[in-house]
Chain A
Amino acid sequence: MHSPVFPQVLTGAVMTKGLRVTDLRLNVSATGDDIVDEVRISIEPGKVLALVGESGSGKTTVGLAVLGHSRRGVTIAHGRVECADTEVLGLDDDAKRKIRGELVSYVPQDPASSLNPALRIGVQLMEALEVHDFGGSVESRKVRLKQMMEEVLLPTDDEYLLRYPHQLSGGQQQRVGLAMAFACRPSVIVLDEPTTGLDVSTQEHVLKTIRQLTRDHGVAALYITHDLAVVADLADDVAVMYAGRIVECGSVKDIFTNAAHPYTKHLVIAAPDIEGKKEIVGLAGRAPSPGKRPTGCSFALRCESADDACRSVFPAEVSVATGHVTRCIKIGKLPNVVVVKPRASQTIESGASVVVLQDVSAGYSGKVVVHNVSLSIRRGECLALVGESGSGKTTVSRAIGGLHREWTGSMSFNGAELQKTARRRTSGARQGIQYIFQNPYGSLNPRRTIGESISRPLAIIGTSKSESRKAVLDVLEKVNLPGSYAGKYPDQLSGGERQRVAIARALVSNPVVLVCDEVTSALDVLVQAAIIDLLGDLRKQLGLAMLFVTHNLPLVRSIADEVAVMSEGRIVEVGPAESVIGNPQQAYTKSLIMATPSIERSMR
């Protein structure tokens, strides 16, 4: 199935520094099924290679294997990992422990959970130096510690080092993670989605720090992410993973302007961008998981151009251009634009205002966090409410949904005043305003079938069983799910499918307004694009008004007509999406947009 010899296209010369991974395979220990296979990567010192792919594609597995580590239930089957001059996988446990942190280090995805809650950050940072006896003496380690803090732009005073992780902000925690990773001046560093969950301005600082440190110290960085805009901004080279294989690898330019593999093309098309309005297009289906992968190309199941040849044997690596390789037997024979979706007119006629907020202030236990917000959402219109975490956007949306009772001011729905909680609202208002939650894994009752979950609102208003069944099938069709899904349970569905079910459950009440609270932030980019596409279609077909709450500015361009920018509980700018994002007037909006990485901007 795999051949150990590959044409040497990426780098001709033998490297003595940097990272080289060859023919890496990791198995599910119990079954021997491949999680990743035939992985080949090489990164030169001072360069950043981005490893991109959907969740479950094996990115983190590869990243950990670079440190010779595999999680419970996973076995490193074979391969070579060379960090500078050292082959990592052949080392015994003690030797592996020695090189971890010293020769190759790791920056984890979630800094909050990766720092020990019971140890002060100074102790944890010092430990990174102590375990490798860095500097040879306590005094020189103290000097290095101060230097590390400076490198990541954190305060160097003793009081700060005495803090516990929970006393730092998310951005500061991630800087501590970075400081720890760079502590012993490693040759190779693996960064596993280090900015996921951070606000854009914090992300910008962290990315800048990463770029600076890798360049200054000649570190080869493997940057794992699913965010293509970050890739375009930060990386030199990109490796695209799909179902455990690297399907395409090349320079950033190669990948974004001349993608060869159909999967890469789909990824690029699905990524929203803050520069220029772009129709994002999703892709149905999901990548096969370990043990269920076909003998042929694993993307063939979703590929428009796949034929029998694709399905019979896994494609070997072929060269597209110098330093640009892919695993597809049809390169050059693929349609250039993968999907062109015929679209109705971009803007729909907006009707009368259906939800109007006037001077709404809201808070928690007496502490006001939202100040004097006035908004209106018109029929058929999508209003995006954007802002960083803590800006109050979710509080506003929950108040509209009747889920948050501590607010003052006035709110009306179809001209009638709205009560504070959903329980006290009229059934018309309750059905008219439907809420869709961020996390489709938590918002569906795992003990109910999809059909039961969807028909629940109907049961409450006393719809008959047969009518309910018809309504369920009807809304499932609207969200492009087969009717047979009514009998399934949530755990049998993928994240994207669950979010479709959540949308279907909202639609069954014939709503006028959909409140969408970060509905795509837990989803992969292709799935996100498909959900955005679906919401756009529904809006047009049903004339729905939509409040789209998000921190993802690029996405706003692809879905919203109007946008309201929130900061520290206030609306700082509101207007048509095109003009607010294309030509922002307020300093805050400008800084937010400048901090947001963009593929187009990076390609210029």
Chain B
Amino acid sequence: MSIFKFVLRRLAFGLGALIAISAAIFFVTQGLPADPAKTILGRDATPENLEALRAILGLDRPLLSQYFGWLTDVVRGDFGTSFTTQMSVSTYLGPRFGNSLFIMLIGTIVSIPISLLLGGYMALKRDSLFDSSSSFATLVFAALPEFVMGTGLIVIFATTVFQWFPAVVFLDEGAAPWSDPMGVVLPITTLVLGCIPYVSRTMRASMVEVLESDYIEMARLKGVSERNVLLRHAFPNALGPVFQVSALNIAYLVGGAVIVERLFNYPGVGSALTDAIRVRDLPVIQFLSLLIGSVYVLTNLIADVATVLVTPRLRTTLK
């Protein structure tokens, strides 16, 4: 089947992109002037100890051979050992990754349908008060950085105005995020508010174009009910561009989560990344950067496949 060939080809492209990303990540992080050995051993380390540690970490080898050594390990599933925690990176980050995935997934599941409905309704009520006020509101939200939105939510819902939700998340090590349902509400809401503006505005533009098309007029002139004109004729045709933007947004959530997790003290990969950068924990930084890169590649791949699936013209002409 040609759709499988299409997916395979895209996967190959994605893999190529990931290799390029891995190289960029490695050389940028490893090439940093800071010396990890110094960071680990502290200010009082003797030159001999530093030298020995560098040899253990393999930092004395040429950069290129370090890179290939690292890449081989990565392919084998060995992401190295965290400098600071002395745990293997996968053991250290595994549960945290699960935590992050949880709020991202919920954030996506909540924000996409809301965005589609909001954007679709804005298009339907084009130039009305609802449309212009929503356009204005989404623009404002799009312009606000996550930490401002998150702080705003904390002020309104956790501290000054209402005290409905906790301002910070206290999750025990290894505890599942859903064990503290009240705690995750505000972080997820922040992510959702960060996503909705882009996706809903794309949906509005896409839907406006579709509603102006000849086939929508034709469906109305055929006597199709307004409900079916929208659900059957307009909506599926408006989705293509929305998928693309949603993919960029989901990938962006991974980045956005860094700040949000920090803000709410949420034990996800985002806060792990900021911690790791502070102490130059290279294996952790490299692993997380590669992980974020993979999410980008993967979500875009899914979006491309989804776009092809909802667009018969593309689907039937796959080579």
Contact = CB atoms under 8 A, between A and B. Distances in A.
B72 interface: no
Given A166-B313, A167-B316, A128 B222 contact: yes
Interface string B214-246: 110111111111101000110011000000000
Contacts of B133: none
Nearest to A184: B223
Interface string A99-138: 1111001101010011111111000000110011000000
A437 interface: no
Contacts of B236: 118
Contacts of A132: 223
Given A69-B220, A106-B218, A166-B312, A131 B237 contact: no
A309 to B, nearest CB: 42
Given A100-B223, A105-B221, A164 B316 contact: yes
Interface in B190-223: 212-215, 217-223
Nearest to A100: B223
B311 interface: yes
A52 interface: no
Contact of B237 (A98, A110, A118, A164): A118
Contacts of A97: 220, 223-226
A100 B226 CA distance: 13
A100 B222 contact: yes
Given A118-B237, A119-B233, A164-B313, A106 B219 contact: no
A115 B310 CA distance: 16
A67 interface: yes
A525 interface: no
A67 B224 CA distance: 13
A67 B221 contact: yes
Contacts of B225: 97, 131
Contacts of A362: none
Interface residues of B, number: 24
A119 B236 CA distance: 9
Contact of A113 (B215, B220, B311): B215
Given A116-B215, A116-B233, A116-B237, A180 B222 contact: yes
Contacts of A180: 222
A247 B217 CA distance: 29
Contact of A101 (B212, B221, B237, B313): B221
A44 to B, nearest CB: 23
Contacts of B224: 97, 127, 131
Nearest to B127: A72
B222 A105 contact: yes
A51 B145 CA distance: 59
A99 B223 contact: yes
A479 B316 CA distance: 48
Residue among A101, A116, A118, A131 with max Cβ neighbours from chain B (10 Å)? A118
Contacts of A166: 312-313, 316
A114 B215 contact: yes
Interface string A62-89: 0010010101100000000000000000
Contacts of A115: 215, 218
Contact of B219 (A98, A102, A110, A116): A116
Contacts of B222: 100-101, 105-106, 127-128, 131, 180
> Interface size class for chain A?
20 to 34
A201 B215 CA distance: 26
Contacts of A98: 223
A357 B222 CA distance: 51
B312 A117 contact: yes
A62 B218 CA distance: 16
B305 to A, nearest CB: 16
A71 B312 CA distance: 28
Interface string B278-319: 000000000000000000000000000000001111001000
B222, B236, B311 — which one has the most chain A CB atoms within 10 A of its CB? B222
A120 B315 CA distance: 13
B316 A69 contact: no
Contacts of B215: 113-117
B312 to A, nearest CB: 4
The residue among B214, B218, B223, B310 with the most chain A CB atoms within 10 A of its own CB is B223
Nearest to A106: B221
Contacts of B217: 69, 71, 108, 114
A101 B223 contact: yes
Contacts of A99: 223
A102 B316 contact: no
Nearest to B236: A118
User: Quick one: which of B218, B221, B237 has the most chain A CB within 10 A?
Assistant: B221
Contact of A118 (B214, B218, B221, B311): B311
Contacts of B228: 131
B223 A108 contact: no
A375 to B, nearest CB: 35
A116 B310 CA distance: 12
A131 B229 CA distance: 11
Contact of B214 (A69, A113, A131): A113
Given A116-B233, A118-B311, A164-B316, A102 B218 contact: no
Interface in B228-268: 228, 232-233, 236-237
Contacts of A114: 214-215, 217-218
Contacts of A117: 215, 237, 311-313
Interface in A435-481: none
Contacts of B316: 164, 166-167
B213 A131 contact: no
A480 B32 CA distance: 72
A353 to B, nearest CB: 44
A102 B224 CA distance: 11
A313 to B, nearest CB: 37
Contacts of B312: 117-118, 120, 164, 166
Contacts of A164: 312-313, 316
B214 to A, nearest CB: 4
B310 A108 contact: no
Nearest to A109: B214
A128 B233 CA distance: 13
A94 to B, nearest CB: 9
A71 B221 CA distance: 12
Contacts of A72: 212
Contacts of A105: 221-222
B57 to A, nearest CB: 54
A69 B223 contact: no
A131 B223 contact: yes
A166 B312 CA distance: 9
Contacts of A69: 217, 220-221
Given A69-B221, A116-B219, A128-B223, 17 more contacts: A69-B220, A97-B225, A98-B223, A100-B220, A100-B223, A101-B222, A105-B221, A108-B218, A113-B214, A113-B215, A114-B215, A116-B215, A117-B311, A117-B313, A118-B310, A166-B316, A180-B222
CB-CB nearest 5 A-B residue pairs: A101-B223, A100-B223, A113-B214, A164-B312, A114-B214
19 contacts: A64-B221, A69-B220, A69-B221, A97-B220, A100-B223, A110-B214, A114-B214, A114-B217, A114-B218, A117-B215, A117-B237, A120-B312, A127-B222, A131-B223, A131-B228, A132-B223, A164-B316, A166-B312, A167-B316
Interface of A: 64, 67, 69, 71-72, 97-102, 105-106, 108, 110, 113-120, 127-128, 131-132, 164, 166-167, 180
